[in-house]
């Protein structure tokens, strides 16, 4: 009809080109205004030299960026058709973030899109992609925790454990974030803070904030592992019930986008210590189970089992196997696990097998070192193994465990009394008459049907004990 507006494209797509400052920040707050005037904001990750495509066709929302954050351009018919073809028939379809019908995906070179997709898949596997329920309910994982009033900490709980926090901060600019979270605790921890550069002001303030705490400047070698081994081997944690090992993770190497490292670090903090309630839950887990030696973040627990074997060692295998043998228990079979990022809670006694090795004197790479294959990466994979050698179990936790039964899992090595590939054998029950050690009863090979036999075995043990 003469004078009427041309029909809109069959899909409305927008290209969002972030500014240099937005790329440096790592995310773009995108304001969406619907035809009814309602508005909402979504937080989209951005990387270097990469734009974003936004498809809001199902909602008819129009996106805008704040002044200085970048530009927004509505695509024409040809560009829309090209983008939709790539979205459907290329690997780009695995890079889509979906915010209640609003799709966002990268629009860069093939290599940049691949890099974005790889990091997004890692985040998605851990349940912390930008469109996940976790991140959308906890925007601080992207935005960071806001400053808080200098309110007094919660009153200490009666019978609280004595806690050491071993914190290595190569990136000292992240210290305010940690301080903010630690001040939420009702338990006043003792900090063993290691830095790679001198910070006189922080060294002056720390003992006032957390009495008894110390600041130590160390060489930039071995990432966060060697700085932890130094006080461990010196016995600094011996007088504590629990030690919490954390560090200022940024994950900037290997072409990673900044925002994914930020989310990883904050999700770990959220799971382990970002609230007084979570610290209390974890302390209660240790108190309820004297055999529990180490707890890490569930979302970052890598597990290999006999039923579902995975290669978790990669180029670290020779060093991991050599160190495990030095600790007295070689790596056997496919059952293995560790916490990626090496942040966890532990009883100091559960770390004794690693402490005895004196590994802080080993040859660690200087600076940022290798992305994988260094001795620090081997040690990262051995904390759980060491806890089991010390006679403890390993558990995991997530911040949303409140009101649920805690999930404790263990991927240890079960003793087998048959040769690999050989026929199944019965249980092996030994008393001092067989092995000559007073007071020791061995129960080996108690698997299925061990559950149905447990009462009979229990009666036998009570008769010989």
Are 280 and 135 part of one and the same domain? no
More confident residue, 154 or 54: 54
Whether the predicted pLDDT of 42 surpasses 70? yes
Domain-embedded: residue 97: yes
More confident residue, 221 or 232: 232
**pLDDT tens digits for range 99-124:** 999 999 999 888 888 989 999 998 99
E-strand ranges in 49-147 read 51-55, 62-65, 70-74, 97-99, 102-107
Q: Among 21-25, 86-90, 437-441, whose mean pLDDT is lowest? A: 437-441
Are 394 and 451 part of one and the same domain? no
Are 139 and 167 part of one and the same domain? no
Residues 6+ apart with CB under 8 A from 365: 221, 222, 374, 375, 376
**pLDDT tens digits for range 455-465:** 777 777 777 76
Last residue of a domain, one of 108, 143, 178: 143
Q: Per-residue confidence at 447, pLDDT binned at 50, 70, 90?
A: low
Measured CA to CA, the distance from residue 31 to residue 56 in angstroms comes to 12
Whether the predicted pLDDT of 406 surpasses 50? no
Domain-embedded: residue 148: no
Are 348 and 440 part of one and the same domain? no
Q: Among 173-177, 263-267, 430-434, whose mean pLDDT is lowest? A: 430-434
Q: Per-residue confidence at 3, pLDDT binned at 50, 70, 90?
A: very low
CATH number at residue 242: 3.90.550
Whether the predicted pLDDT of 448 surpasses 90? no
Beta-bridged to residue 324, according to DSSP, are none
Are 303 and 363 part of one and the same domain? yes
Q: Which of 256-265, 332-341, 420-429 has the highest mean pLDDT?
A: 332-341
Are 97 and 173 part of one and the same domain? no
Domain-embedded: residue 327: yes
Whether the predicted pLDDT of 387 surpasses 90? yes
Residues 6+ apart with CB under 8 A from 79: 13, 15
Structure tokens at 11: 């899909």
Domain of 113 in residue numbering reads as: 13-143
Q: Per-residue confidence at 418, pLDDT binned at 50, 70, 90?
A: low
- Where helices occur in 13-109 by DSSP H, the ranges are 20-25, 77-89
- Mean pLDDT, to the nearest integer, of 346-351? 98
Whether the predicted pLDDT of 451 surpasses 60? no
Q: Is 106 within 8 Å of 97 (Cβ atoms)?
A: no
Domain-embedded: residue 152: no
Are 262 and 396 part of one and the same domain? yes
Cα dist. 362→194, 369, 375 in Å?
19, 14, 8
Measured CA to CA, the distance from residue 66 to residue 64 in angstroms comes to 7
Are 296 and 382 part of one and the same domain? yes
Q: Please count the structural domains in the chain.
A: 3
**Helix/strand/coil for 342:** coil
Are 89 and 227 part of one and the same domain? no
Domain-embedded: residue 158: no
Measured CA to CA, the distance from residue 336 to residue 397 in angstroms comes to 18
Are 184 and 130 part of one and the same domain? no
Q: Per-residue confidence at 90, pLDDT binned at 50, 70, 90?
A: confident
- Mean pLDDT, to the nearest integer, of 406-419? 49
Are 291 and 377 part of one and the same domain? yes
Are 432 and 389 part of one and the same domain? no
């Amino acid at each position: 009809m003469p004078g009427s507006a041309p029909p809109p494209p069959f899909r409305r797509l927008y290209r969002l080109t972030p500014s240099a400052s937005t790329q440096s920040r790592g995310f773009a707050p995108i304001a969406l205004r619907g035809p009814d005037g309602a508005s909402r904001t979504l937080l989209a990750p951005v990387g270097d030299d990469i734009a974003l495509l936004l498809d809001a066709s199902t909602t008819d929302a129009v996106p805008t960026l704040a002044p200085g954050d970048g530009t927004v351009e509505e695509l024409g018919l040809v560009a829309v058709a090209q983008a939709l073809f790539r979205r459907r028939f290329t690997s780009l379809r695995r890079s889509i973030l979906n915010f209640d019908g609003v799709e966002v995906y990268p629009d860069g070179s093939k290599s940049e899109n691949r890099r974005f997709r790889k990091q997004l898949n890692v985040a998605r596997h851990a349940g912390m992609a930008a469109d996940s329920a976790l991140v959308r309910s906890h925007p601080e994982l992207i935005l960071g925790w806001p400053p808080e009033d200098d309110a007094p900490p919660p009153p200490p709980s009666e019978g609280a454990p004595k806690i050491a926090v071993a914190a290595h901060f190569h990136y000292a600019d992240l210290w305010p974030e940690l301080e903010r979270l630690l001040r939420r605790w009702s338990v006043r921890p003792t900090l063993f803070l290691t830095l790679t550069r001198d910070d006189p002001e922080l060294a002056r303030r720390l003992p006032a904030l957390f009495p008894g705490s110390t600041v130590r400047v160390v060489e930039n070698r071995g990432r966060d592992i060697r700085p932890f081994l130094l006080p461990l081997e010196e016995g600094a944690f011996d007088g504590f019930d629990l030690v919490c090992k954390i560090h200022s993770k940024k994950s900037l190497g290997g072409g990673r986008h900044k925002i994914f490292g930020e989310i990883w670090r904050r999700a770990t903090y959220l799971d382990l210590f970002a609230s007084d309630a979570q610290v209390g839950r974890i302390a209660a887990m240790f108190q309820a189970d004297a055999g529990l030696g180490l707890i890490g973040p569930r979302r970052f627990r890598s597990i290999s089992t006999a039923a579902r074997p995975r290669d978790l060692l990669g180029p670290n295998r020779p060093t991991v196997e050599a160190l495990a043998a030095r600790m007295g228990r070689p790596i056997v079979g496919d059952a293995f696990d560790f916490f990626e990022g090496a942040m966890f809670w532990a009883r100091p006694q559960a770390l004794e097998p690693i402490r005895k090795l004196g590994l802080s004197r080993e040859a660690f790479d200087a600076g940022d070192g290798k992305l994988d294959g260094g001795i620090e990466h081997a040690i990262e994979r051995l904390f759980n193994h060491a806890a089991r050698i010390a006679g403890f179990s390993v558990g995991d936790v997530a911040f949303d465990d409140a009101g649920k039964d805690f999930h404790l899992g263990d991927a240890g090595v079960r003793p087998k009394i048959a040769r690999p590939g050989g026929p199944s054998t019965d249980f092996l029950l030994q008393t001092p008459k067989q092995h000559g050690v007073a007071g020791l009863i061995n129960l080996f090979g108690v698997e299925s049907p061990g559950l149905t036999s447990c009462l009979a075995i229990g009666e036998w043990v009570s008769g010989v004990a």
